Structure 1
Amino acid sequence: MRMIRLRGTPSERGQAYGAQARDEIDEAVRVYRRWFASFARMSWDEVRAAALPHQKWLEESSPRHAGEIAGIAAGSERDVTEIVALNFRTEIAYRAVGGAALSECTVLGADATATIGGHVYVAQNWDWLTELLPVTVLLDVEFEGGRFVTVTEPGMLAKFGVNAAGVGLCVNLLGSDTHGLGGSFHTLAREVLESGSAVEAAWAVTGSRRAGSGNYLIGAASGELVDLEFNPVGYELHFPGNGTLAHTNHFLGQDPGVRDRLRFLPGLSPGTYFRQDRAQRLLAAEAEPGVDVAGLQRILRDHYGAPEGICRHDRPAGGGREVLGQTNVSVIIDLTAAELHYTLGCPCERDYERMVLPWA
């Protein structure tokens, strides 16, 4: 996984990002042109037009991020609407999509009460389009007042990662029948990674307008662990039971204020419910002796319910009615030790690499 270091003003960071990742961004645009056409039945011109209201909202409400996105566009020699479309791809596609859906990531967390040595962990399998695995990047970003690293798709501001204040973020998709204007799944992730504490990170989402739905697992080296479900009209916080948290691709809150996509899209697989139960049970079992990196690796390699297991391989389910992502990256963030353990591709097929975070 290629590391890209970014420094300076938002515009300078964006231009450096765009220039260094130009080939990867070109490939991401090619992948998403195909994906929007097949998944959302949208031409790329229609996608760019749909990005315009989000671009205007960013320029008015989040000028730092708008400036960085404009810099990425300039550095990569792409139109700015294309970079906006990458950063708002979830919101644009789900507003347009009909009866299809994607089933994606599993996130796991454990706080000091459930772990060996009192560590705090957040972890996930990022399940998404196989074609994006070769161009996935690791950004090392110094911003005004801090520093973070994030694993993300080229051209995007952030996805999952950790910052020098010890705040870690893992993410997974939720879908609902409600859409709006506001921060996207990926721009809100950037807000979390620029936060100085778990409370500030949650506030960055709960206190903002939100264009779509999602789930963030937020942890901190200081001990906090919280799972935050959000959508354009509301949010709900979930705290650890017996020191652990797991989340898949449906709302756990009793009244999220929206209809979960599984409640209104016909014919979707109930696999997310199986995965949720499996992840919770495996975490509880690991917590008996104490969760550690090896235990989280065992969970992230689990195939129960295949092809809709925690560890995902590139094959369709449900007679092609639902698209499943392959596990492109598996990551465990040890917030206490300031370490990141990861695999590129399915974790059942390779060893985890260990990276000491640059500020440790």
Structure 2
Amino acid sequence: MDHWRGARRRRRGERRQRRPAAERAGRPGAEPAMKIVRVAGTPFARGLAHGEQAREEIHEAIRVYRRWFETFARLSWEAARDAARAHRPWLENRDPAALEEMRGIAAGAGVPTTEIVALNFRTEIAYAAAGDLALTECTVLGVDASASGDGHVYLAQNWDWLTELLPLTIMLDWEFDGGRAVSVTEPGMLAKFGVNSAGVALCVNLLGSDAHGRGGSFHTLARRVLESATVLDATWAVTGSERAGSGNFLIGGASGELIDVEYNPVRCRLLFPANGTLAHANHFVGPDPGVRDRLDVLRGLSPGTYFRQWRAEQLLAAGPGAGLAGMQAILRDHYGAPESICRHPQPPGRREVLGQTNVSLIIDVTASALHYTLGCPCRSDYERISLPWA
């Protein structure tokens, strides 16, 4: 049986019973199925198919980010679009395929291209203007073949973000020159975390610093990583590019490699496994990043990222173990709540604690399989999907 195709059919049937995204966005109760968006062809053709298939979700995401830019970054949507226009010359000169795909997404969704650029550069635009506000977000884990117990390489992530975006989340499945990849991402965005047919996998963390510039965004760099043929090529896709902001990419390969890349506009640092495992939260871990971490810049930011980092490392080393079941247990951990690895939505009032765990994903790179939950992983079993090239 083609598990991927079966999963698509099952979700299509479920979506027929779902209410429009504008109604789903704030609706409590059972989590929705993740829409699979399948695209191929030229960059513009891929974008056009993406925009057409996720048109409703893209329009709702723009409404969410319009509000988010105003409350978090104190930017009007018009100002955010102006900031996005400033990034277009770099895209035109250095990453024209990404811009062409964004144009396709915009055409398919019926929105201006600048709004799709704003979505794909939302991290860089917001953090350049955020003042004293900040978010604490994802936790990622990596286990190589020497530590997993079954000889597999695993990458895992709890994607913690705005609660309104949970019902809009998509799984983008695209073909590119030389391969195929899937990424759990937001509608209208080129990529976030995922894996490709060459066995290169990616999990991601937001980092922030006092440095901002022109270059690839968090989401365009993720696309480059997921179109790489090897872990070395994927690493070079980040270190060899100009970078508009800061981030952390945990990269693994079916051939056994595991590497963590902390980057910012001026410097990259590479971190390697200790005893076969890696963990990362939302602060710079490597020595001398060349910038000031956002915790040294932004007032009132919770130190919860340090707690999650320590907790994840301790559990990988001595807790439930580094195999598949152990990683599921780590991703369900509530130590340090409400800013725990498994994060639940909180009432307003704590400005640095926003959103919840929208997706929990474990990538079995060796077996070409995904194990995931929508919403907090403590509330449901992980679903396994064999990837289309398995």
Normalising by structure 1, what TM-score?
0.98
Match of 1:345 in 2: 375
- Equivalent positions of 1:1-360 (< 5 A) are 1-286=34-319, 291-315=322-346, 319-360=349-390
Distance in 1 (alpha carbons) for counterparts of 2:97 and 2:285 = 33
Is the CA contact 1:102–1:325 (under 8 Å) kept in the aligned structure 2? no
Task: Report the Cα offset of residue 93 of structure 1.
Answer: 0.2
Distance 1:316 1:263, change over 3 A: farther
Task: Report the Cα offset of residue 157 of structure 1.
Answer: 0.2
Superimposed CA distance per residue, residues 231-260 of structure 1 (whole angstroms, 9 cap, x where no aligned partner):
000010000000000000000012000000
Identify unmatched segments of 5+ residues in structure 1: none
AA matched with 1:359 = W
AA matched with 2:101 = E
Identify unmatched segments of 5+ residues in structure 2: 1-33
Superimposed CA distance per residue, residues 45-64 of structure 1 (whole angstroms, 9 cap, x where no aligned partner):
11110101212211111111
Distance in 1 (alpha carbons) for counterparts of 2:63 and 2:299 = 30
Distance in 2 (alpha carbons) for counterparts of 1:254 and 1:240 = 15
Task: Report the Cα offset of residue 321 of structure 1.
Answer: 3.4
Distance in 2 (alpha carbons) for counterparts of 1:267 and 1:68 = 38
Distance in 2 (alpha carbons) for counterparts of 1:328 and 1:351 = 14
Task: Report the Cα offset of residue 171 of structure 1.
Answer: 0.2
AA matched with 1:293 = L
Matched position secondary structure for 1:102: coil
Distance in 2 (alpha carbons) for counterparts of 1:110 and 1:333 = 10
Is the CA contact 2:146–2:276 (under 8 Å) kept in the aligned structure 1? yes
Matched position secondary structure for 2:373: strand
Is the CA contact 1:137–1:154 (under 8 Å) kept in the aligned structure 2? yes
Matched position secondary structure for 2:150: helix
For the aligned residue pairs, the C-alpha RMSD in angstroms reads 1.0
Is the CA contact 1:316–1:323 (under 8 Å) kept in the aligned structure 2? no
Task: Report the Cα offset of residue 325 of structure 1.
Answer: 2.9
Is the CA contact 1:103–1:325 (under 8 Å) kept in the aligned structure 2? no
Distance in 2 (alpha carbons) for counterparts of 1:82 and 1:132 = 17
Matched position secondary structure for 2:360: strand
Distance in 1 (alpha carbons) for counterparts of 2:311 and 2:208 = 21
Moved beyond 2 Å, runs of 4+:
none
AA matched with 2:232 = V
Superimposed CA distance per residue, residues 27-49 of structure 1 (whole angstroms, 9 cap, x where no aligned partner):
00000000001001111111110
Normalising by structure 2, what TM-score?
0.90
Superimposed CA distance per residue, residues 219-242 of structure 1 (whole angstroms, 9 cap, x where no aligned partner):
000000001000000010000000
Distance in 2 (alpha carbons) for counterparts of 1:271 and 1:323 = 9
Task: Report the Cα offset of residue 291 of structure 1.
Answer: 2.2
Is the CA contact 1:111–1:120 (under 8 Å) kept in the aligned structure 2? yes
Matched position secondary structure for 1:16: helix
How many aligned residue pairs are there?
357
Identical aligned residues as a percent: 70
Distance in 2 (alpha carbons) for counterparts of 1:156 and 1:320 = 28
AA matched with 1:33 = R
Superimposed CA distance per residue, residues 144-198 of structure 1 (whole angstroms, 9 cap, x where no aligned partner):
1110000000000000000000000000100000000000000000000000011
Is the CA contact 1:167–1:193 (under 8 Å) kept in the aligned structure 2? yes
Distance in 2 (alpha carbons) for counterparts of 1:223 and 1:339 = 16
Is the CA contact 2:339–2:353 (under 8 Å) kept in the aligned structure 1? no
Distance in 1 (alpha carbons) for counterparts of 2:383 and 2:133 = 35
